[in-house]
Amino acid sequence: MKIVVTGANGQLGSDLVRELSGDFEVVPLTHEDIEIGDPESQRTVLSGIKPDVLINTAAFHNVPKCEEERDTAYRVNGYALKELGMLCNELGTYLIHISTDYVFDGSKGKPYVETDTPNPLNTYGISKLVGEIYIKNYSEDYAIVRVSGLYGLNPCRAKGGRNFVETMIYLAEQGKDIKVVDDQFITPTFTLDVARQMKIIVKNHIQGIIHCTNEGETNWYEFARAIFDISGVNARVFPRKTDPDREIKRPSYSVLENAVLKEKGINIMKHWKEALGEYLSLR
């Protein structure tokens, strides 16, 4: 089986390439190899490869920049998925697209399942929902895998090379006071765990919308505290509230429940604290 991974040098993409390569023929594609927002680039590159599976992790996911560059956000995260879905139909390719917890507004106040109705609050979330809608309407063989609060061993280009964990440790080592919001609830998720779970999704050819996050929930402040507790790094970290007048709207509660994975008996995602401990032992 031949699997193409787009965004192959990103946090999730790099782990997918490593994890899947032992079982499948994996073709890693970076932004230099394919422009996912350009239908001509999609067709030229993918028609030459003819993959059995395409895992699309490529996205414009810098949330503040999405507000500034909305055309790019909608093109890459949204409109491109119509063309990609139709191309995968032509090639007989199983399309797996990575989406986000930010398609929800947080008003539910308890974990979102796959059948809950999205209502995104910002351009990033809206553009990702547009992509989901195009896939559902134009793709014949697909999975939309929603993730949350990703961090991984590979540098995160969209965040200046540091994920949240590395940013917290860096700030602590600089001796800075750190203020982190405690009113946004998520499930921090280790990309290596997503990659391990994705292997099972591929082997079972699961279709439709799938939530894939580590288990449990926390807020960003408590996540930061856990980072320092587990790593043994001394830090001056304080909670703060989201400033609605100065900060981009984000869901106050976007915890996802892996309902489909559990229903099918294939959920292997561990608790977020255990996942964090593994990450810190590997970094």
Cα gap 182→180, rounded to integer Å:
6
CA-nearest of 96, 207, 74, 84 to 138 is 84
User: Which pLDDT tens digit goes with each residue over 74-113?
Assistant: 999 999 999 999 999 999 999 999 999 999 999 999 999 9
Count of CB atoms within 10 A of residue 182's CB? 19
- Tell me the CA distances in angstroms from 149 to 25, 212, 257, one per residue in order: 29, 11, 14
Average pLDDT score over residue span 1-23: 95
Cα dihedral 246, 250, 77, 264 in deg (nearest 10): 170
Q: Is 3.40.50.720 the CATH number for 2-152+188-216+251-270?
A: yes
Cα gap 232→210, rounded to integer Å:
35
pLDDT higher than threshold 80 for residue 156: no
Catalytic positions: 124
Cα gap 15→58, rounded to integer Å:
14
pLDDT higher than threshold 90 for residue 203: yes
pLDDT higher than threshold 90 for residue 47: yes
pLDDT tier, 173 (very low <50, low <70, confident <90, very high otherwise) = very high
Average pLDDT score over residue span 16-37: 95
Higher pLDDT, 198 or 155: 198
Q: Give yes or no for a contact between 210 and 201, defined as CB atoms under 8 angstroms apart.
A: yes
The one-character DSSP state at 40 is H
Residue 282 CA to its chain's centroid (Å): 20
Q: Determine the pLDDT at residue 246.
A: 80
Q: Give yes or no for a contact between 63 and 250, defined as CB atoms under 8 angstroms apart.
A: yes
Q: Determine the pLDDT at residue 243.
A: 87
Query: Which tokens sit at 237?
Result: 């970290």
Task: Mention every residue, 6+ apart, whose C-beta is less than 8 A from residue 143.
Answer: 94, 95, 96, 97, 201, 206, 207, 208, 209, 210
To the nearest whole number, what is the mean pLDDT of the chain? 95
The packing angle between helices 80-91 and 39-49, to 10°, is: 20
pLDDT tier, 157 (very low <50, low <70, confident <90, very high otherwise) = low
pLDDT tier, 53 (very low <50, low <70, confident <90, very high otherwise) = very high
Q: What sign results for the dihedral spanned by CA atoms 115, 146, 28, 266?
A: negative
Query: Which tokens sit at 271?
Result: 């608790």
Q: Determine the pLDDT at residue 162.
A: 85
Query: Which tokens sit at 213?
Result: 């996050």
Query: Which tokens sit at 232?
Result: 């043994």
pLDDT higher than threshold 70 for residue 158: no
User: Which pLDDT tens digit goes with each residue over 110-135?
Assistant: 999 999 999 999 999 999 999 999 99
Q: Determine the pLDDT at residue 202.
A: 97
